[in-house]
Copies of this chain bind each other. A is one copy, B any other.
Amino acid sequence: MSAAPARGEGTEASTRGEEMHALIRELYPLCRSLTGDGVRETLRVLGRFVPLEVHEVPSGTPVFDWTVPREWNLREAWIATRDGRRVIDARDSNLHVVSYSTPLRRRVPLAELRAHLHSLPDRPDWIPYRTSYYQESWGFCVSERQLASLTEPEYEVCIDATLAPGSLCYGEWLLRGRSPREILISVHVCHPSLCNDNLSGLAVSALLARALREREGEREYGVRFLWVPGTIGSITWLARNAERAGRIAHGLTLVCLGDRSPFTYKRTLRGDAEVDRAAALALRESGFAHALIDYFPFGYDERQYNSPGFRLPVGSLMRARHGRFPEYHTSADDLDFVAPRPLEESLEVVSALLDVLDGNRVYRSTSPCGEPQLGRRGLYRALGGEPDVAELELAMLWTLTLADGAHSLLDVAERSGLRFAQLQRAAGLLRAHGLLEPCAPAENENGRVGCASC
């Protein structure tokens, strides 16, 4: 498949980038959290792209070492002067209230109030994003300037929220492939009005899913999309799908894909899994600036998939690195911080990465003793003696050389330096002439694809 347009198709590219940015604008005002109606509404919007299934898991459900928390819904939250002037209001930014704050309605002396206020002294105009999911507490996030303006001895404080038994919800959609093996795309949906983290991931995954659906039936691997609240969501899915998780051959979390930084690919814990090699290849071939970084056990849901009990090879595709850009988890991660062009590029890269994974095959030559005679089949130029070889001829020679049931096309690409798509084309020609047979793939202990039947 080729979900993304080729470089240079400016107009359509712009259209997809614009469409993703529009989707981000639509989702931006919703008050998402680990649970609650903001997530439900977000999933409903995503449902316009693919017929995702929404799962509701009751509060109190044990999921491995955790328990599904109570559901939190916020109606309003504000701080007002005694004369009723609202100086802080969650209507202005849903970052103002600490996520999962307990309900409150009373006058609070300034000194007490200040202990519940979070600000960023170095960034006087930015509002931080804070949560208190697993410890009962309340609080407001304000800009440093707002904090400075709070001079009255007492304020009326309102957090009209419910924190009560309900459910955790997440979205799931599976595009079936010819094989039962799956590629996992996991996207966290729990962050409120933060665009790069992670409305960008939502937008890219939505358009990716739609593009895949348009070509259903063409793929080898199934592709499973999970739109889950961070940490508890992926743990919940794993707890409910421990068997099914074994089908996941490769995976990615998609996060922070709308900013203007170079790409960052964070490797799986294993470090040399097929998805790691496919990501390196897709990024190299994309021509976009990028960095490949080793796994570390913080970040997003890759932590859960890579945990000792599962060890699923799930990497993470980002642009700016989680926690490493100033706007991270602040109100500055807004609609201007993300742009159509970077979103479009991200969609292009993740599509190419999936194409490499899906197209990675192991072949065996049907004529392994010496080279087969390509010339009489019209696959090689007739006139000998010229010093250079055409790229497609070279792609055929490399593919045949490693067609021993022990090397995949990805191996060929890494070793030859040729483009993966060119090697796929070469393999297609050779198969059409009966010179290659596909082998049944078998994951060996190093995560490299080998041939099960050789």
List the interface of chain A (C-beta within 8 A of B): 63-66, 98-99, 118, 128-135, 137, 231, 234-235, 238-239, 242, 269, 294, 296-298, 303-304, 306-311, 323-324, 328-329, 364-365, 367-373, 375-376, 382-389, 394, 397-398, 400-404, 415-416
Tell me if A129 and B385 are in contact (CB < 8 A): yes
15 more CB-based (< 8 A) A-B contacts, given A137-B382, A235-B370: A65-B367, A65-B371, A98-B383, A129-B385, A132-B383, A231-B371, A238-B369, A296-B416, A297-B398, A298-B394, A303-B371, A304-B371, A308-B365, A310-B370, A311-B404
A365 to B373: give the CA distance in the assembly, Å. 51
Residues of B within 8 A of A373 (CB): 65-66, 134
Tell me if B369 and A297 are in contact (CB < 8 A): no
Contact with A369, one of B239, B376, B397, B415 (Cβ below 8 angstroms) = B239
Contact with A389, one of B298, B304, B387 (Cβ below 8 angstroms) = B298
Residues of B within 8 A of A234 (CB): 370
Residues of B within 8 A of A394 (CB): 297-298
Given contacts A382-B132, A389-B298, is CB(A369)–CB(B323) below 8 Å? no
The 8 closest A-B pairs by CB, nearest first: A309-B369, A309-B368, A131-B384, A308-B368, A135-B382, A297-B397, A323-B387, A235-B370
- State the number of copies, please: 3
A64 to B368: give the CA distance in the assembly, Å. 9
Residues of B within 8 A of A99 (CB): 384-385
Tell me if B297 and A370 are in contact (CB < 8 A): no
Chain B proximity of A204: nearest CB distance (Å): 22
Contact with A308, one of B242, B309, B404 (Cβ below 8 angstroms) = B404
Given contacts A134-B376, A375-B135, A400-B297, is CB(A238)–CB(B370) below 8 Å? yes
Tell me if B385 and A131 are in contact (CB < 8 A): yes
Tell me if A368 and B307 are in contact (CB < 8 A): yes
A-B contact pairs, 7 of them (CB 8 A): A65-B370, A134-B373, A135-B382, A297-B371, A308-B403, A323-B387, A324-B387
Residues of B within 8 A of A64 (CB): 367, 369-370
Chain B proximity of A55: nearest CB distance (Å): 17
A133 to B130: give the CA distance in the assembly, Å. 75
Tell me if A372 and B129 are in contact (CB < 8 A): no
Residues of B within 8 A of A309 (CB): 365, 368-370
Residues of B within 8 A of A131 (CB): 383-385
A383 to B138: give the CA distance in the assembly, Å. 10
Tell me if A65 and B372 are in contact (CB < 8 A): yes
Most interface-central of A128, A296, A397 (chain B CB within 10 A): A296
In the complex, what residue of chain B is closest to A242 when comparing beta carbons?
B369
A372 to B215: give the CA distance in the assembly, Å. 40
